[in-house]
């Protein structure tokens, strides 16, 4: 029973102290804010400390070239009008105070697609004010939009360097100077994006050649610039669109090994499947009217190889079974047989008029079959080399 009374007594004492401290905090606030004008900066130069923490990469819109992030900003500066003697207020040297009652340095996002770019601080935010006039303020900036120089040529292994530029416009160098600027990433509160790696970052105070700054040249400008290097996570795009393209290229090569009757049917199946995956790749690939991505070129070439194979298979079938071969193709076939296979071949058959020979029909059939087989093997070698070269060269360029 005594313990219960003791706990109640201590709780009451602590509550009284808390109420007393809150009352004294209100007294201090009323005292220092009397006659205070938050719309005017005090006469002394302001040394501003700014720290930006990246909380989340929300999205990167490649088509619009806009990076959207959630950030947290910490500001610290001193206002000489808000000084008090802590010995007169029960040694209280630090109080919370509403941010909308204070003069706050005006900060803007320079490279934003929004017309204003002003960093809005919620009116409910509270700052910490110390007895020496130092103010510390933390506020969140949700869905901050900044422009990004996007290059999707190596999609889906593309990397982009985006920047966040924060600027303070003041009328002279004696008004405000950003003394210290820092950027933090990959903290405990950082939320990783599903589609992008945060590969690297850098930051610093730089001079800006932006037209917005030049238009406001009457102001002294400092730019706090953060550069973020983003790398796409390619697994989804590869599994959904490009690994199947590898398999379809293999199927295109295997067409040359199947029986004549199955070649046309198999080629049509591969072409239809290629069309389906071209649509998938079209939806996976970011839109750009300036150039084709390497991955899009790869899918396009894969489709072209398949169409060439289909045209050849149909032509070979007609030549082999309809006993008709265009003269240029026949001459090329005779030349290849003479050079690569049988040097006496040109003496055995020196005319296309097989009907004048005793066994002309059989010679004609053998002639067309051998010619088609020779050209078939050459086409097989050609397609294998082309597909191999495109696979190796394009993807080495993409991942390099």
At residue 65, the 3 state secondary structure works out as coil
Cα–Cα–Cα angle for 121, 122, 126, rounded to 5 degrees: 90
- pLDDT value of residue 239: 86
d(CA 145, CA 166): 12
Q: Judge if 126 and 186 occupy the same domain.
A: yes
Q: Judge if 275 and 220 occupy the same domain.
A: no
Q: Judge if 301 and 222 occupy the same domain.
A: no
Beta strands in 123-219, from DSSP E residues, in sequence order? 126-130, 134-149, 159-170, 176-184, 196-206
Q: Judge if 272 and 338 occupy the same domain.
A: yes
Q: Judge if 330 and 361 occupy the same domain.
A: yes
Is the per-residue pLDDT at 195 higher than 80? Answer: yes
pLDDT digits (tens, 9 = 90+) for 225-273: 999 999 999 888 888 878 888 888 888 888 888 887 788 888 888 888 8
Residue 98's domain comprises 2-233
**Residue ending a domain, choose from 199, 233, 267:** 233
**Residue ending a domain, choose from 233, 254, 284:** 233
Is the per-residue pLDDT at 66 higher than 50? Answer: yes
At residue 342, the 3 state secondary structure works out as coil
Which element (helix H / strand E) includes 63? Answer: none
Q: Are 383 and 308 in contact (CB under 8 A)?
A: yes
Q: Judge if 164 and 145 occupy the same domain.
A: yes
Q: Judge if 212 and 302 occupy the same domain.
A: no
pLDDT digits (tens, 9 = 90+) for 170-179: 656 667 788 8
d(CA 302, CA 307): 9
Total of domains in the chain: 2
Q: Judge if 96 and 220 occupy the same domain.
A: yes
Q: Judge if 208 and 194 occupy the same domain.
A: yes
Q: Judge if 197 and 294 occupy the same domain.
A: no
- pLDDT value of residue 277: 83
- pLDDT value of residue 349: 47
Q: Judge if 326 and 384 occupy the same domain.
A: yes
Return the HEC string of 11-59.
HHHHHHHHHHHHHHHHHHHHHHHCCCCCCCCCCCCEEEEEEEEEEEEEE
**Domain holding 167: CATH number?**
2.70.170.10
Q: Judge if 59 and 88 occupy the same domain.
A: yes
**Residue ending a domain, choose from 233, 265, 285:** 233
pLDDT digits (tens, 9 = 90+) for 31-65: 888 888 888 887 788 889 999 999 999 999 988 88
d(CA 108, CA 223): 10
């Amino acid at each position: 029973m005594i313990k219960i009374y003791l706990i109640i007594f201590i709780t009451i004492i602590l509550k009284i102290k808390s109420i007393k401290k809150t009352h004294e905090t209100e007294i201090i606030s009323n005292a220092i804010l009397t006659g205070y004008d938050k719309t005017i900066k005090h006469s002394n130069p302001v040394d501003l400390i700014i720290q930006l923490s990246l909380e989340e990469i929300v999205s990167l819109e490649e088509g619009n070239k806009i990076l959207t992030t959630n950030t947290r900003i910490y500001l610290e500066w001193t206002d000489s009008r808000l000084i008090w003697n802590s010995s007169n207020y029960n040694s209280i040297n630090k109080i919370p105070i509403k941010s909308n009652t204070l003069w706050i340095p005006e900060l803007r996002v320079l490279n934003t697609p929004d017309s204003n770019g002003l960093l809005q601080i919620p009116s409910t935010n509270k700052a910490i004010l110390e007895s020496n006039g130092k103010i510390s303020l933390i506020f969140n900036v949700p869905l901050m939009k900044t422009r990004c120089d996007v290059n999707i040529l190596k999609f889906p292994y593309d990397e982009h360097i985006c920047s966040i530029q924060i600027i303070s416009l003041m009328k002279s160098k004696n008004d405000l100077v950003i003394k210290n600027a820092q950027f933090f990433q990959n903290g405990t509160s950082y939320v990783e994006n599903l589609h992008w790696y945060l590969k690297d970052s850098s930051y610093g105070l730089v001079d800006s050649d932006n037209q917005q700054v030049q238009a406001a040249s009457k102001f002294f400008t400092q730019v706090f610039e953060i550069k973020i290097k983003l790398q796409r996570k390619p697994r989804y795009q590869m599994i959904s669109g490009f690994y199947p393209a590898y398999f379809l290229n293999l199927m295109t090569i295997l067409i040359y090994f199947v029986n004549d009757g199955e070649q046309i049917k198999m080629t049509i199946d591969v072409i239809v499947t290629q069309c389906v995956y071209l649509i998938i790749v079209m939806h996976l690939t970011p839109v750009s009217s300036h150039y084709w991505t390497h991955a899009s070129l790869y899918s396009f070439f894969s489709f072209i190889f398949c169409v060439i194979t289909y045209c050849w298979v149909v032509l070979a079938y007609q030549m082999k079974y309809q006993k008709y071969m265009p003269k240029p193709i026949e001459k090329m076939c005779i030349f290849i047989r003479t050079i690569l296979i049988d040097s006496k071949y040109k003496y055995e058959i020196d005319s296309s008029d097989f009907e004048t020979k005793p066994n002309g029909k059989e010679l004609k059939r053998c002639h067309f079959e051998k010619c088609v087989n020779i050209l078939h093997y050459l086409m097989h070698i050609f397609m294998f080399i082309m597909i191999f070269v495109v696979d190796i060269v394009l993807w080495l360029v993409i991942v390099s």
